[in-house]
Amino acid sequence: MKILNLLLAITVFFTFSANAQDKLEQDRKAIKSLAGFYKVNFNYGEVTSPDPNYTFSKPYRSHGNEWAEVIVDEPKKIVIQHMLAINDSTVIKHWRQDWTYEDPEIMLYTQDNAWKKVTLSAAEVKGKWTQKVYQVDDSPRYQGYGTWSHVGGRDAWQSETDSPLPRRESTVRKDYNVLNRGSRITITKEGWMFEQDNKKVARTPQGDKLIAVEKGYEEFTKIDPAKFAFAQKWWDSQKTYWADVRDVWADLAKTSTTNFKVQTNVNGKLLYETLFTLGDQSIKEKWTASQNKEKIKSALQPYLAK
């Protein structure tokens, strides 16, 4: 009987391990399918407010061609870099998403372009993936964690976390300072859908005040890769420099205290403009990795709030 129980326990253990490994591979496949060549439609609109006298903002609609490339593929870390292709001669390095599995380290947005480093428990992150979203200059934007589900052939992930104001409102709105993002990613036959239920919050020492709620839809639909030939050529020349930028940011985050704050504008110069100019100079003058990192770190210092 003891031998039978032992054999049963061993069978259960290996079955559980195999299932967990299968689930991990399903997760990885879903995340990597976010990469590709897409036409993106952006649609946002406010739907409700607790203030009966609130004036709803005009719905936001836009579109563009976006290429998402897997630039790091490790068993428990996948990094996807996005690029906007404006036409046959213009490309903008866009946002980046890092996916990490059962990652206890997370930077939670507080307000005023500041983040708080938090260590999660093993139970909180068990089986979950963290999506770490970064700005065009590779500074932090927001990070949230959740579980990928694969039911009925439908791959989906969701989380809720705070973030800075969206770029479409950061220069025109002063009535709120935190966007609480409810994010859902669903893989579709044509690409993927990034659906959002967002709360616009005014955060003060006295607490949070809800200003309005909006719905957001970003629809990624696969298109002809030929539209991105220039973007691919540009990225091939720039990717080594931007890998060094990521390394410098990672080192700064590790050595910072529990709080991390970034200024986006110093002496009339935007952070992304500074790093993009430095990148062009690096390519032109053929800097080494050590030269890149030295100049990047020096350039970032004025933008890091003390």
Residue 285 counted as domain residue: no
pLDDT on residue 13: 46
Residue 176 counted as domain residue: yes
| CATH number assigned to the domain comprising residue 197 | 2.40.128
Q: Using 50, 70 and 90 to split pLDDT, how confident is the model at 195? A: very high
| Count of structural domains, the chain | 1
Residue 245 counted as domain residue: no
Residue 185 counted as domain residue: yes
Residue 78 counted as domain residue: yes
Residue 172 counted as domain residue: yes
Query: Maximum CA pair distance of the chain?
Result: 78
Residue 152 counted as domain residue: yes
pLDDT in tens, 11-60: 444 444 556 779 999 999 999 999 999 999 999 999 999 999 999 999 99
Residue 76 counted as domain residue: yes
275: closest CA among 252, 254, 250, 292? 292
For residue 133, give its domain range. 2-224
pTM for the model? 0.91
From residue 16, alpha-carbon distances to 4, 9, 11, 22 in Å are 18, 11, 9, 10
Amino acid at 194: F
